[in-house]
Every structure is written in C-alpha cells, then in structure tokens.
Amino acid sequence: MKLSGIPGPRYGSIPVVVLVAIITIIEKRSPILRETLFMKTREALASYRITAGDSLFHKALAYLIHDQAIRISDGKIIKLDGWSKSQTVEWAEQFGKASLQTRTSRARKAVGRKKIARRLTFRLDQFDVAATESTAKAATGAKKRRQQAETERHVVNVFYATDRQKSDEGYSANGIPDKGLHRGIATVSFPKRRHPGDTNDPPFNIELIASLFPGRFSSIEKLAPLGKTDFHNRLRTRLANDGNTMFVFVHGYACSFESAIKRTAQIKLDTKFKGTAVTYSWPSKGKISYYDLDHERICHAADVLSGFIDELRSKHENPTIHLVGHSMGAHIIALAIERRSRKHDIGEIVLQAPDISSLDYGRFAAAFSSSAKRVTVYASKKDRALTVSQVKRLARGVYRIGQNVRHALNQAVDAIDATRFGEDGLFGHGYAFKRALITDLRETLDGMDQTRPQLIERYHDGERFFEFHK
C-alpha cells in the first residue's frame, strides 16, 4: 500500500500509523529515537479529531498513552466522538492505565526522590496527559543536548575497489560481477554519540527512519568514482600522510556495497588506525537467503582480490598492506593469498569468524606462513551462523574453523577464542565488532605481540591458542 493511501492524521507526508508502527518496532533498540518519534506523532495528532470508527488510531493513541504518559487524570478525560464517557475511560484504562503506575514509579526515581513539582498539562486531542515540571525540564535539556550532538560528526574516508555492477544508487547487489574493477573514494559520517563497533544504521535499515533523523545515523555523504590513475594518485597522497600503511577489508556474504563501506569506516574509526582504510567489495547478493549463490562467487572474488593486491604493490612504493576479512570474506582472503605464489609481502592477516572448511585450512595455513608477517583467527563456539554454513555443506566431520578455536589451531596462526563475546544478535556472528575485539584488532594491526594483557595463553593437544580474560 502506498503511504498516500493510508487515511488519518499525518506528520508531513507520513501517516501517524506508520510512525507508531516504527515506534513499536524499535521500542527496545533505541529509546532516544522512540522518544523523538513520539513527539512527532503527538504533534500530528494534536489537531486531529478522533471518531469511534478510527480503529487504527485508537491503537495509535493507546500506544502513546501506554508508553509515554506518566499519569492520566481520569476526571479530565473527556469522551471520544461517538463514545460515552464510560466507554472512553474504559478504553483508556484498558490500553494505558495499568502500565502507567510503573512509569510513575520510574519517574519519581529519576528526579531523585524530590517532591514532584506542579504538573504541567499537555492537551493531546481529547486527553489531558499530566507530567511533572521537572520531567519536562529534563526532557527539554536532553533534547538540546541531542540536537547539539547531532550536528557534530565523525568523518572517515574509505578508498574502495569493487567489481559490482553500477546502479543508480551506486553499486548493485544483483550478485553478478562486472567485467572490471570500479575504484573510488567514499566519505562516511557517523554521529558523535555512538557505541564502538556500531555502524549506526537505522533499525532494520528502514530508510524512512534515516530520512526523519539524519543526524542520528551513519551516512555515506559522498561517493566519488575515480579512474585507475586518479585513484592511485589520491591513494599515494594519503599514504604519504598515513605512514605508507593501509588495511584492506573484505566483507562476508549477504552484504551490500553500502554496508561494506560503512563497516570499513567503522573499523578505521574505532581502531583509531593511523593508516588508510581500503575495502574490496565483491558482488554479494546482499541477502541472507542467497548463501549458496554468494559462495559460488568466492573463487572469482579471490582472483580479483589477488590482482588488486598486486596492483596496490606495483603502484605504490613498498606499502604495508594488512588484510582483514569477516566470515566469507576471510575465505576470499585465504584463496587470494594461496593464488599469489607465496609472496612474503603482507603485514597482518586477520580472519574474523572465518567461514573456511577445516579440510582446506591446512593448505591455507601453509600459504599464510610464507605470505604474511602474522595471521590471527578469531573463533567462537556460539557462532550459529557458521553452524548453518556447515549444515549447508553437508560434509560429515567437516567444520568451519570459526566455529571453535580448536579447529583453527596451527603453528602458523594465532588462534583466539572469542566465545565469551559470542552472544551477538540472532546468529552470534557479529562478535568481531564488540568493543574488546576492536581493541584487540587495533593492537594486532599495531604489531603488538601475544602478551597483550587481555589475552590468556592456553594449550590443547600441544597446540597454543589464546582466550580473553573473564
């Protein structure tokens, strides 16, 4: 259904029922955003006269009363059009009053057990919703602080190479590789108020929310495609200021071009990496349901990545190149290193939650040892996404090395057990971007040895690995 076809009150061109639906979805994910959406919804409802037939908006108002009001004064509720006073009160009590007692208790705690100041009454259509003056002042101060924070942004530049096909928005997620590499620079901005490891996308990537509150989410401010010569000229200038060091990030499956750019920028920002951030975005289909199709692309992607690494080395004077791969991106890096004839010209290789078969791991480890200064693998027993990957391969006794640190043990590799941080999201696959692992990644890229204070040395069958302190 088009938004224009939805009846009832609106905030601008957006129906109130849509705003309320979004509030419901993000209730636990973003309290600050929920509060702001509520204010906009209240503005839209302020002049709208509710009738008994507006069932959608009965629910909308019910949600507002249930979620935001501190107290409802029964004596001040006047009847809805077409309803009796008793029907109106019964409706309000059914949807709102029971939960408001809890909110009243929380509000009193929030003001430090002081006397509740005189009430300020805000008229919400047919209802008088009472709030405390102190709560209102606190909300006003919080709003000013949020507005100030939204105007301050972190800005990160990411050099990119991709063999995705071009689209109107940038580069597509149709899963079909283009004939050659596209190169360019992306400028990404993040809000100042954020948690490390978060790419700050809107909840469920709902663009409507991002357009309503652009200051609260990350944004690709500029996408500047460049020819091969211009790309390397710009990269050469940047490397001169960044210690002639870069990392190349390779994303996993079900990842769009925009998500790859934002993740690379997030790694650069949160690790405080002093070098240049580069990403290779291979033509993933961009959806979870297309695992097999994405897996079919990795051999081609490895060839392209191998060629791109050779290009970086030939166009620049002895740069330090680190490789960071997540999930299926780690498999692409492993294949690319194997294809490069064991040239010892890579700095650090970091494989996060690697979707690599235990059958192939031995030969990859041999290639790593003759190609890179050091290889680090992060694994977690709670990584359910890799369990799904294992099932899809239908090979008995074959594991993904990111499933368990014991599958990753090898003299050529520093294997780190990150199970402690594995409870992330639905599948436990994004633990690599938790604060502790970001810190460890920063120290790895900085060249620190394994005596890092957050790691404990362990052994299994004579093979060494590390795990995080509890």
Provide the residue-wise pLDDT of the chain in tens; the chain has 470 residues: 345 555 555 666 666 666 666 655 555 556 666 666 666 655 555 544 444 444 444 444 544 444 333 233 333 333 444 445 455 455 444 444 433 344 444 444 444 433 333 332 333 333 333 333 444 455 555 556 556 655 689 999 999 999 999 998 899 999 999 999 999 999 999 999 888 999 988 876 666 667 767 788 899 999 999 999 999 999 999 999 999 999 999 999 999 999 999 999 999 999 999 999 999 999 999 888 888 899 999 999 999 999 999 999 999 999 999 999 999 999 999 999 999 877 789 999 999 999 999 889 988 998 998 899 999 999 999 888 887 665 555 455 578 899 888 888 988 899 999 998 876 655 668 899 999 999 999 999 999 887 788 899 999 988 899 998 76
Dist. CA 329–CA 294, nearest whole Å: 11
What's the pLDDT score for residue 67? 39
Helix (H) or strand (E) holding 147: helix 133-151
Residues 6 or more apart whose CB falls under 8 angstroms from that of 260 comprise 160, 249, 251, 279, 281
What's the pLDDT score for residue 391? 56
CB 408 within 8 A of CB 394: no
Q: What beta strand segments (E) does 259-398 contain?
A: 276-281, 320-326, 346-352, 372-379
- Token pair for 465: 């690995």
Regarding beta strands 276-281 and 153-164, do their DSSP bridges make them parallel or antiparallel, or are they unpaired? parallel
Q: What beta strand segments (E) does 230-307 contain?
A: 245-250, 276-281
What's the pLDDT score for residue 438? 95
**CATH numeric code, 152-468:** 3.40.50.1820
What's the pLDDT score for residue 413? 92
Q: How many other C-beta atoms lie within 10 A of the C-beta of residue 285?
A: 21
Dist. CA 159–CA 278, nearest whole Å: 5
With CA atoms as reference, report the closest residue to 326 among 184, 433, 406.
Answer: 433
**Side chain identity at residue 314, one-letter code:** S
CATH 3.40.50.1820 residue window(s) in the chain: 152-468
